[in-house]
Amino acid sequence: MRRWRFAFGRRWFGYLGFAIVFAIACVLLSHWQFARREDALAEIAKVEQNYDADPVALADVLADTEAFEDTQEWTPVEMTGTYLDEDQLLVRSRPYGGRPGFEVLTPLRLDDGRTFIVDRGWVPTGEEQDSPDFVPAPPSGEVTVTARLKPGEPNLRGRSAPEGQVSTINLPTVADLVGGNVYTGAYGLLEAETPAPADARPAAAIRPDNDEGPHLSYAFQWLVFALFGFFGLGYALRTEYRLLNADDPEEQERAAERERRARAKPPSDNDVEDEIVNAALR
């Protein structure tokens, strides 16, 4: 036991404390990845449950302009009204297929007087200016719209936008710009509109991918890293033991046995290749 007395010194207790703190950090990161996977699975479940459902009347889903439940995301809703083309807004910095561009928000004045914000799709940035070359106009007159519900986005500090544009789909901000009794609990991604517009509509939103991501594998990797910390501590402890007891006959005998076993191992492919090269050089 005296040979291991060095392991009870302050230095090695410090190493042990570091390994414990490292393991705790790895476990916490693992739990974080498990939580992210649960969130991803919850989002996938909402898409699978709501995306392909039959459209229902907007008033049957949202009781008032501020109503929205997280479980209602992607639910198809149907409404009838008139597009307020003059109050249309562009959302900046929206990539689509690797290209920069804008999303087109067009208010829809419903028959009951309330206004619902419809995201009609994406248009690219102009060839010579930081704005679209062309924004397809919505259908004029009364139109029936089918859209999928989405929650509004947070308002980012320090992000500004020129007139007629917004930096995020922050529905209270959009409501202030549009005016009137605007739905601020949710907006809609356009699925269909009747009658169809005279020009091709902006590029439609893409169906969400049902890939949960690498969170599960990352979670297990962090657990493995936590174990590696203790394995590394044990390896360092054993190495120092061998160095401090190199003059001990028993340790010398064990060292000789390790060397004998190493020599008895069949040569690796790299060893064979090195021997061939050395022979050729000789």
Digit-coded pLDDT (tens) for 26-40: 999 999 999 999 999
Q: Residues with Cβ < 8 Å from 120, sequence gap 6 or more?
A: 104, 105, 106, 136, 138, 190, 201, 202
Q: What is the pTM of this model?
A: 0.73
* CA distance from start to end of the chain: 51
- CB within 8 A of 98, min separation 6: which ones? none
pLDDT at 258: 67
Q: What is the DSSP letter of 141?
A: S
Which candidate, 208, 222, 211, 212, places its Cα nearest to that of 36?
212
pLDDT at 275 (0 to 100): 67
Residue of 121, 124, 135, 127 lying closest to 95 (CA atoms): 124
Tens of pLDDT, residue by residue over 147-187, are 999 999 988 777 777 888 999 999 999 999 998 899 999 99
Residue bearing the bigger pLDDT, 247 or 212? 212
Closest CA to 77 of 53, 55, 97: 55
For residues 82 and 60, give the distance between their C-alpha atoms in angstroms, rounded to a whole number. 20
Phi then psi for residue 105, to 5 deg, are -100, 120
Q: pLDDT per residue over 110-148, tens digit each?
A: 988 999 999 999 999 888 788 888 888 899 899 999 999
What is the reported pLDDT for 277?
Answer: 58
CA 247/CA 257 separation, integer angstroms: 15
For residue 6, the model assigns a pLDDT of 74
